[in-house]
Chains A and B, each alone.
Chain A
Amino acid sequence: MTSATVTSPRPAGSLDRREPDRPVGGALRRLLPLFPALVLLVVFMAGPILWSVYIAFTNETLTGAASVNSRFVGLGNFVKMFGDEDFRNSFLLTFIFVIGSAVIGQNTLGLVIALLQRGRARAVRSVVNGVVIAAWVVPEVVAAACWYSFLAEEGTLNEVLAGLGFSQDWLYSAPMIAIILANVWRGTAFSMLVYSAALSDVPADLLEAASVDGASGWSRLVHITLPLIRRSIMSNLMLITLQTLASFGLIYALTGGGPGTASQTTPLYMYEQAFRYFEIGYGSAMALVMLVIGALFSMVYLRLIKADA
């Protein structure tokens, strides 16, 4: 599940007028309920992030000599990373995965489904919504099992294509396409829901008027609908990019990054280095790169929605 933000109107004659100025003790008491949340956030979120900044510059491991006393290695891990063939491969694959499954796949398909559903009967919408959302609600490991059975050598797809001579183990011959399709299947519901909501805010009489003036369906879409929902498009792109960037379980359970490293995106490579070979320092350097990329996208997202807290 994911992070759309619930909006609710602020009640009229709002709050904030309660407490007159009180001495410091009062202010502290007012903030008291925030403390448990602050403590948890500082210890388990801010702490690890700062810790990763530190260990990314050390040769920390969990086994061998460096596990007892790790030492500062400066930019060593980052130099190693950019010279590491496997890391560069993983980075490229992550890029392809994000562009293919999120920016193109989920985003376009979500918009298309939302557009097609406009003006359709309620029963039609319920069926389509139900099926698309079901794929989203299923836990990622089960989604991987579904796609494994669909694409395997003796799977459903080959059964459907039987006789056409395409029969093959798709997970072996086209692992990137397999994980991209699986992720489009799993994530489209989110974009679809975002766009359904956005489209319902597009005034119908505007489209009607354009139609009377002789604008074709396509030009109404390009000149009226898309400009009106552009903020939603940008917000949606940022959110699905952030989710897809960090995707691990679906890929890990479906292809395990293989065959070889053919579908090993950066989270999987980081997992292998940090948790299989216990190269914690090196893994943290990769984690830090991902955090910085995530932070940049997150900042763009905040700008876009102009959150008014």
Chain B
Amino acid sequence: MTRLAARTAALVSLAVITIAFVGPFLWVLLASLQPDANLTAKPTFEFSLRNFGAVLTWDIIYRPVLNSIVISGATALLTVVVSGLAAYPLSRYKLRFKRHFMLTLLFTTGLPVTAIMVPVYSMFFRFNLYGSIPAMVLFLTASSLPFAIWMMKNFMDSVPVSLEEAAWVDGAGWVQSLARVVGPLMAPGIAVVAIFVFVGQWGNFFVPFVLLDTPEKQPAAVTIYTFFSQYGQVAYGELAAFSVIYTAPAVVLYVAVNKYLAGSFSFAGSVKG
């Protein structure tokens, strides 16, 4: 095969793959703008924002999205604070059990959260926490921690300890050192962890579906499922508009951290701690 032929074959294959990946998106994008949408992605010349208008109500969009913001936001905030604190001794001190602790955390990231939900549900029921958003946020934080601590520790390791020494000479303890020196220096890292956790929880369907009791408390992930299974078969255009509104924040936030996440895939064989 000549170079040119190989090049053409590669480009054609990439084009086919791209079209195949675009396929399932078409419907959502087109139907959200079509006043009489059905299930087929068919370009028409009728465009309207009527579907968006129809779903922009308190019950369909505003309250669920607000719930999503509260749940994902609180989880992200709490995870950043708790993992940032935990990362400090792990990054700064020589600790005997450190290696075991870090490996256990990495091991935990592999466990299926889906399976943990049965005992969690049973515990929440026993301790009267079923339906409690704060209790669920604590669980979500705990489930985000293993990975967040790893990321935080790696970001903190790259802040040179020499920068802290001046603060120590001035008599600052670890609290001041962390808050005034290390924290600000690793602000981009903190933002990455926060956004990473936020986007993860924004899409989380199973946990709120199992742990929350009434529709008023549910985040958009669950509301859109309910909408899909109840009205989705009728109000196609509205389902599509709902999907677009709910997906947009995840996409925007991903684009924001894309640059920082790029390096995270080169764990080519080894992870350095």
Contact = CB atoms under 8 A, between A and B. Distances in A.
Interface of A: 1, 3-11, 13-16, 18-19, 30-31, 33-34, 36-38, 40-41, 43-45, 47-49, 51-52, 55, 60, 62, 109, 112-113, 116-117, 120, 124, 127-128, 131-135, 137-150, 152, 154-159, 182, 185, 193-194, 196-198, 200-201, 217, 229, 231-232, 235, 238-239, 242, 245-249, 252-253, 267, 270, 274-275, 280, 283-284, 286-288, 290-291, 294-295, 297-299, 301-302, 304-309
B154 A6 contact: yes
B187 interface: no
Given A36-B85, A193-B265, A235-B267, A297 B243 contact: no
B145 A40 contact: yes
Question: Most chain-A CB neighbours within 10 Å: which of B83, B101, B149, B267?
Answer: B267
B199 to A, nearest CB: 6
Interface of B: 1, 6, 10-11, 13-14, 17-18, 21-28, 31, 38-42, 81-83, 85-86, 88-95, 98-99, 101-103, 106-123, 125, 138-139, 141-143, 145-147, 149-151, 154-155, 157-162, 168, 174, 178, 196, 199-200, 202-203, 205-206, 210, 221, 224-225, 228-229, 232, 236, 239-240, 243, 246-247, 250-251, 254, 263-273
A32 B178 CA distance: 13
Contacts of B268: 197-198, 201, 229, 231-232
B236 A149 contact: yes
A34 B93 CA distance: 12
Contact of B39 (A55, A154, A298, A302): A154
A203 to B, nearest CB: 13
A156 B125 CA distance: 43
B27 to A, nearest CB: 4
Contacts of A198: 266, 268
A14 B90 CA distance: 13
A270 B273 contact: no
A248 B143 contact: no
B270 A306 contact: yes
Contact of A156 (B27, B114, B162): B27
B247 A139 contact: yes
Contacts of A44: 120, 138-139, 141-143
Contact of A3 (B147, B158, B269): B147
| Majority secondary structure of chain A interface residues (helix, strand, loop or mixed) | helix
Contacts, number: 363
Contacts of B210: 275
B116 A120 contact: no
B11 A159 contact: no
B249 to A, nearest CB: 10
B107 A302 contact: yes
Contact of A246 (B18, B86, B115, B149): B115
A247 B102 CA distance: 26
Contact of A5 (B89, B224, B264): B264
Nearest to A16: B94
| Majority secondary structure of chain B interface residues (helix, strand, loop or mixed) | helix
A8 B89 contact: no
B267 A4 contact: yes
Nearest to B93: A30
Contacts of A60: 122
Contact of B98 (A19, A33, A309): A309
Contact of B82 (A36, A149, A242, A297): A36
Contacts of B92: 15-16, 18
B19 to A, nearest CB: 9
A43 B141 CA distance: 11
Question: Most chain-B CB neighbours within 10 Å: which of A4, A128, A154?
Answer: A4
Contacts of A128: 14, 17-18
Given A137-B251, A159-B42, A305 B269 contact: yes
A247 B182 CA distance: 38
Contacts of B31: 149
A301 B114 CA distance: 19
Question: Most chain-B CB neighbours within 10 Å: which of A132, A142, A288?
Answer: A142
Given A128-B17, A146-B25, A309-B273, A246 B112 contact: yes
Contacts of A149: 24, 27-28, 31, 39-41, 236, 240
Contacts of B254: 133, 137
Given A137-B251, A248-B114, A3 B205 contact: no
A156 B14 contact: no
Question: Most chain-A CB neighbours within 10 Å: which of B229, B264, B273?
Answer: B264
The 4 A-B residue pairs with the shortest CB-CB distance, nearest first, are A298-B110, A309-B102, A246-B112, A139-B203
Nearest to B150: A5
Contacts of A185: 21, 24
A60 B119 CA distance: 11
A34 B82 CA distance: 8
Contacts of A31: 89, 95
Contacts of B1: 217
Contacts of A137: 199, 247, 250-251, 254
Given A34-B89, A150-B27, A145 B239 contact: yes
B82 A142 contact: no
A182 B236 CA distance: 20
A305 B263 CA distance: 16
B272 A9 contact: yes
